[in-house]
Amino acid sequence: MAGKKSKGEKLQEEIMYRPKAVGETDHGLLSKSLDFAEGYKDFLGNKTEREIVDYTIPILKKNGYAEFALGKKYAPGDKFYVNNRGKALIMVTVGSKPVSDGLRVGVSHIDSPRLDFKPNPLFESFDLGYFKTHYYGGIKKYQWFAIPLSIRGVVALKDGGSVTVRIGDRPGEPTFCVTDLLPHLAMNQMKKPVSEAFEGEQLNLLVGSWPYDDEKVQSKVKLNVMSLLSEKYGIVEEDFLSAELCAVPAFMPSDLGFDRSMVAGYGQDDSVCAYANLMAEIGCKNPSYTTVTVFADKEETGSDGPTGMRSAFFRDFLKDFLQPYGAEARHVLRNSICFSCDVNAAIDPAFPEVFEPSNCSHMNRGPVVSKYTGSRGKYSTNDASAETMAFVRSILDGAGIPWQVGELGKVDAGGGGTVAAEISVHNMDTVDVGVPVLSMHSPYEVVSKVDLYLLYRALAAFYGCPEAKP
């Protein structure tokens, strides 16, 4: 029944906050998002931080980025990047305003939970060949049994050379897996709590079963696997001592749903944010504030190490970049704002009990802004200030971008963190902005294409280039 709005209805519109599903307010948005997601699925085929860096650098070069030159005073519109050990990246577009006015910083991480190989991984047991693994990041171990896995990484050699390994996810390639116990003999296993039923030392990767043809040698299957690796990659077993190899899910990203509105795939935490961040950075031609986009490593294990956000690399880079302008990093940081771009948990109808619906993120409501993360009474979090949240509102609402707020879950249900805490120690206002995800940290995560596209637009608006076209 259409008609004049009542006084209460008008008042409701004026003063009440009502989060909306984007599909109801802007139905045509899906078609734009479908196109955008095609490039994303390609990006998502890169499953480790090294692969993402290797994939991204040629894109940067094609878009006018050159390697950072120490001591150079860059002009507005100049673009450059810093490659930190092939595992982390900083990308910059110089703005027209003085750097002392502050930077617009976007940080996402490019590492994802996986099974890292142990330093001495290869062994044989009951005539089967395996690699021992040590899981990286927060996984539910059971999810890694009985799924196809691919091997990726690098073997560094004593002579300074290195061998890149990527096998198991292209058509025709062999895959690998961790075997699981048959239900018929799982009586005891099934009685255990999930946290005890699957052990880290069971996460061994099956890589061969056929013996080397020589009755005089021991461990024939192991020798056969190693001889094949030696043939293919030119390595010997001792070379594993200086390698970073891992197993990641072999399946490639795909559209999900009859309406193709979602993407399913491994590593969307945090490639979904990294891709949006990259597209906004590249598309930004003449920003007023200098944009700084960071791809960080090691977020999933606490951001330690020289390529993680606890490393001095970010601060040191800023000092180097700012020096020719006569600006001090500490003054510039105080005037800067950072969007820490990481995923959040979308409410899942299968597990509603851990979510608080009016303060958690929902699929297809646009990017989720999290004032804080952490756990147990806001421990271990950057808690964005009211002023920073007001800034976010003015940027996103000003650009007409639907968005939502979201905590991770119910107050005492658990918790989690992002690099926001590591970034804000530099005395920079920081806020978490990301994409809601279903099945986060699983081998097959799900995101909405519209949320991905809207995060890109949100970052473009934040960078001051709302019209940015990737």
Positions touching Mn ion (CB under 5 A) are 269-270, 342
Q: How far is the CB of 295 from Mn ion (least distance, A)?
A: 12
- Report the residue number, 89 or 329, with the smaller CB distance to Mn ion: 89
The least distance separating Mn ion from the CB of residue 137, rounded to whole angstroms, comes to: 6
Minimum distance, C-beta of residue 365 to Mn ion, in the bound complex (Å): 19
Cβ proximity to Mn ion: between 342 and 407 the closer is: 342
Sheet containing strand 103-109, edge to edge, reads 65-67, 79-84, 88-93, 290-296, 103-109, 337-341, 429-434, 368-370, 404-405
Q: Which of 413, 415, 457 lies closest to 435, judged by CA? A: 457
- Residue 461 CA to residue 396 CA, distance in Å, equals 7
Cβ nearer to Mn ion, comparing 269 with 407: 269
Q: How far is the CB of 419 from Mn ion (least distance, A)?
A: 8
Nearest Cα residue to 205 out of 144, 266, 251, 163: 144
Shortest Å, Cβ 337 to Mn ion: 20
Distance CA 149, CA 207 (A): 10
Give least dist CB 434 to Mn ion, A: 8
Which residues neighbour 394 within 8 Å (Cβ) at sequence distance 6 or greater? none
What is the torsional sign of CA 437, 441, 446, 450?
A: positive
| Residue 270 vs 407, nearer CB to Mn ion | 270
Residue placing its CB nearer to Mn ion in the complex, 122 or 363: 363
Taking CA atoms, 13 is separated from 5, 20, 366, 394, in Å, by 10, 13, 20, 19
Q: Could you tell me the CA-to-CA distances from 58 to 61, 63, 152, 163, 460 in Å, in that order?
A: 5, 9, 20, 20, 21
Q: Which residue lies nearer to Mn ion by CB, 225 or 296?
A: 296
CB of 354 to Mn ion, least distance (A): 16
Q: How far apart are CA 312 and CA 380, in angstroms?
A: 20
Q: At what angle do helices 268-283 and 449-462 cross, to 10 degrees?
A: 40
Q: What DSSP designation does 219 have?
A: S
Amino acid making up residue 375:
S
Edge-first strand order for the sheet with 128-136 is 162-167, 149-156, 243-249, 114-125, 128-136, 204-208
Least distance (Å) from Mn ion to the CB of residue 270? Answer: 4
Question: For residues 413-427, b (16+ Cβ closer than 10 Å) or e, as one string?
Answer: eebbbbbbbbbbebe
Q: How far is the CB of 299 from Mn ion (least distance, A)?
A: 6
Q: Phi and psi (nearest 5°) for 372?
A: -150, 160
Taking CA 99 as the corner, what is the angle to CA 98 and CA 102, rounded to the nearest 5 degrees? 110
CA distance 57 to 339: 22
Instruction: Supply the minimum distance, in Å, between the C-beta of residue 303 and Mn ion.
Output: 11
Sequence-distant (6+) residues with CB within 8 A of 235 are 155, 157, 163, 229
Q: Which is nearer to Mn ion, 224 or 340 (CB)?
A: 340
Q: Which is nearer to Mn ion, 79 or 114 (CB)?
A: 114
CB of 273 to Mn ion, least distance (A): 8
Closest to Mn ion by CB, 80 vs 355, is 355
The region, left, alpha or beta by phi > 0 then psi within -120 to 50, assigned to residue 81 is beta
Nearer to Mn ion, 269 or 297 (CB): 269
* 281 vs 300, beta carbon nearer Mn ion: 300
Strand partners of residue 414: none
In this complex, which beta carbon is closest to Mn ion, that of residue 224 or of residue 344?
A: 344
Q: H-helix or E-strand containing 283?
A: helix 268-283
Taking the complex as a whole, how short is the minimal distance between the CB of residue 441 and Mn ion, in angstroms? 6
